[in-house]
Structure 1
């Protein structure tokens, strides 16, 4: 019996010593080879399935995504469709607002001026480090300013404060922001559109949403487009929307007024010049038919209390 107890104690001692050595060994390895203790999270952009251009000047871009689910980490400037995939370190040793080893932001651009939408992929972070920038970027969008193409980079200064830099896609240099008055396709319709039944009619009748320079923000399958002007004039665009693709207008070629008037025509029944839409005075309930963007601007001037 004493021998058995002795062997049990020896086994327990060996196991305890082994556990202690393994734990100590991991700490030593973690210190000498910290990559063994790294932990990351990844936020990957949705895979691009197809890109097509339409219009006399290729001013409309149709994009299909793999799975056509709600898209994120995508944007578009005048000349580039862009996706961004983020890999961020999150273990206990990670630095909160600085770039850490193993992190990446993989940018993929599609050149909208080439017949095959030439694709280019690169890691943004080494380029930032080469410029002496060591801030943790958490959001990237493509923008156009005065005919030049940039990536707007938002980064953490502190937990409560953000900063902005611009990455010039042609020179590959980082610059300070020049203005807030840049062009992008990510803008939603403003609050002033609340008085119009235009967005809600498109959503109700055709199952998709309209934004400042895009259709079908949520990549849903459009419905009932067969008898619209859009289906007659641009049948492939109507087909793509019905298959869950998204349509963008290139911001350097199509302004908000043109986009409004074009959509008003596209979604009218075949043979009818424009959709029948109304602006509603929120105080009196009076409705006024709106036949163009200019009409809407004039209506707003006459109804300032609705702003």
Structure 2
């Protein structure tokens, strides 16, 4: 009997050791699926585009709304679908050059016809520009004098502060150096929207995420736009869909200015029968309240508070 018990004990010890070893290896070994993270391009057939506001804006919907629109960007006459996969394993996380299994493509399509134009290999573009530099995830679209550019951040391995920024012309495929003046319109819009309280109002009241690039539901649960404001009367079907978490309104870069976009939002989210939303800015020192009903109102306020 003692021999039997001894054999049983040995068996259970071996089994326990094997299970613990397997558990240890499971946690120590990188799982291939978790090693890579990516943004996989939306299915073109799932996307629908509706031009609104004299083709200054475009409302985009997808048959798979839960997938979101992170992969989609809109320019003046094109739209762009990201398709990338980066290696975030410990050994390659700090290496911004292309490693095995990594890719970064941007597919270019005509905005009106959805016709495919070209497939841009961002890693290859950077290698051709300077093989010593790698790619930091970027890909935003800027429009400069009627031409779309892709914004690309470049970085040296293990040297994150040493970043260079370039702009890639989608049509000519020429590269120019980035300058903050090229994003002045975006920065201006953000300043006006945030300082005047419009950004907070749209977020807090209607669960909307807004910016110069467009406006859409702040979560998959959808926006909360009521029936008694101008946008609901002007675009009832669009509002209905966005309240269900479907779709996003994009600005067509180059077709609409920051002032036009801001004033459009101020009209859309005003009560029915009122032309513009009424916002205000309170001076922190004097408690003076300045009404803001338009982009121009903000610029006048800013000019009078240059020394604040």
Normalising by structure 2, we get a TM-score of 0.72
Which residues of structure 2 form unaligned runs of 5+? 1-31
1:69 is displaced (CA, Å) by 6.1
Preserved contact between residue 207 and residue 218 of structure 2 (Cα < 8 Å): no
- Paired residue for 1:62? 59
For 1:148-297, list aligned pairs within 5 A. 148-158=147-157, 159-160=159-160, 161-171=162-172, 173-177=173-177, 179-182=179-182, 190-191=190-191, 193-216=193-216, 218-220=218-220, 221-244=222-245, 245-297=247-299
1:55 is displaced (CA, Å) by 2.5
- Paired residue for 2:106? 107
With over 3 angstroms needed to count, the CA separation of the structure-2 counterparts of 1:166 and 1:190, relative to structure 1, is closer
Preserved contact between residue 150 and residue 169 of structure 1 (Cα < 8 Å): yes
**Highest Rg: 1 or 2?**
1
1:167 is displaced (CA, Å) by 2.6
- 1:42 partnered with 2:37: yes
Deviates more, 1:266-275 or 1:206-215: 206-215
Which residues of structure 1 form unaligned runs of 5+? 1-36
CA distance in 2 between partners of 1:129 and 1:249 (Å)? 28
CA distance in 1 between partners of 2:195 and 2:127 (Å)? 50
Deviates more, 1:58-67 or 1:243-252: 58-67
- Paired residue for 2:14? none
With over 3 angstroms needed to count, the CA separation of the structure-2 counterparts of 1:293 and 1:166, relative to structure 1, is closer
1:256 is displaced (CA, Å) by 1.0
For 1:130-149, list aligned pairs within 5 A. 131=128, 133-134=130-131, 135-139=133-137, 140-149=139-148
CA distance in 2 between partners of 1:192 and 1:184 (Å)? 12
Preserved contact between residue 45 and residue 73 of structure 1 (Cα < 8 Å): yes
Preserved contact between residue 69 and residue 218 of structure 1 (Cα < 8 Å): no
- Paired residue for 2:80? 82
1:265 is displaced (CA, Å) by 0.7
1:242 is displaced (CA, Å) by 1.9
How many residues of Structure 1 are paired with residues of Structure 2 in the alignment?
266
1:266 is displaced (CA, Å) by 0.6
CA distance in 2 between partners of 1:271 and 1:299 (Å)? 26
Q: Cα RMSD (Å) of the superposition? A: 3.4
With over 3 angstroms needed to count, the CA separation of the structure-2 counterparts of 1:129 and 1:300, relative to structure 1, is closer
- Paired residue for 1:72? 70
- Paired residue for 2:27? none
